[in-house]
Chains A and B, each alone.
Chain A
């Protein structure tokens, strides 16, 4: 080992922890608000089964596992009857926008989802690409029309400060008060993102994130909610968000 490098490193360690090592320094006390999972709603309308829409794009198994951890059995389906009667509907998605819309059209899911979400008002959560397709359009690999159920356009991230795209990793979100999804989640919570495109603005936005400029992290639009990050991959904060969505679904089904 290089002798001078060893000396430098020892000096670094001594300065880094030196004072702490002799117990002289007080570590900065940061209060971490705890994320706790709410009591499972066992009243009428409680959600025991959720339906994950399968349009051949997305980490369906991860989402199913995450719901399983919250005591909810997930059915992965394209069956119109199943989707329209779902107590809670999840629209996952990883991949390209154009392909997603093509797959939905090929599986004749656009009308089915329209009925389930817009007519029957099934509580619905879109995740990542599943959020993007709810928008009016996206310019990913050409201009594509989305479902248009949420106002706004999806655009490519980046191009301003040279940060690498895709936006991959944990990042903090800023959330409005009184949102359904973020109940009980501390203000500066982090979630896991993995995307190259996002909505810059939306009237139904309840949360935003900053990566080379602000973009919409979550929307709430009546029975239709969506998040750009992956709650099924965001440890406690993500679990709490999913639990909040399920509690919302339980209330909708009971009332």
Chain B
């Protein structure tokens, strides 16, 4: 039994210009202790998927139209607000993209760090502070005893992200959702933060959903990868498979667009065209207009995720029909 099982999640935004289908019929599962990567370009629905799981989508204009997300027996999408509050921060925690704005500038680090403990575990303040100091030490903040009394603006971006990780991990959650946790940081700090998440994950047996558009980071970090395009998952497989044996033209095109050492001097490959406008209904495969293998069947028939080989799913109709190989 998987820790989290997402079935047919569909999230729409009802805007003035029509209904934007941000996440469309997405299903996936996360096992205990596993790291699942979600990659895709901006607007492909990675973040909306995870925000939907935590019901953080602003409603309106957003609306979770259908689907379920069974987390250890509880449906996160339909349970009561009270039940959800007990799960958020206690069993499912989240790290955000921009550490500069994800801490309250008016509260000391200390007061923010102990908040999950005070709420979820009814710890008394002194104990909570002790645990918070230990938590800060674990994420590598030196002199934690004194630094804990600082305000967020006295910390650098990397340190703030460390604080966010400490805050998310302080209740030892079962699932950590990391929404591009390294995007706003510079490369050396990125590596440290990834290392840190890995370490905390190992120590607590936490499962991680790791959202990123950085293919390199995902490759080194995740056990399995979902590739998303235009609000749908187009390919799911183990990390090595996704990288070495792509089974969807979009994924293959993504891999080709990565700058690598051995193609020095050549022009970098780019995918022609633009991602589709999600406020218009899409007939057939969303990637068809940009796909070099597209045939008539791709433009007329919707594509669904199907198993290609054990553990490897692809939503390419032509690959499913064995008409093409990549």
A, B bound: no
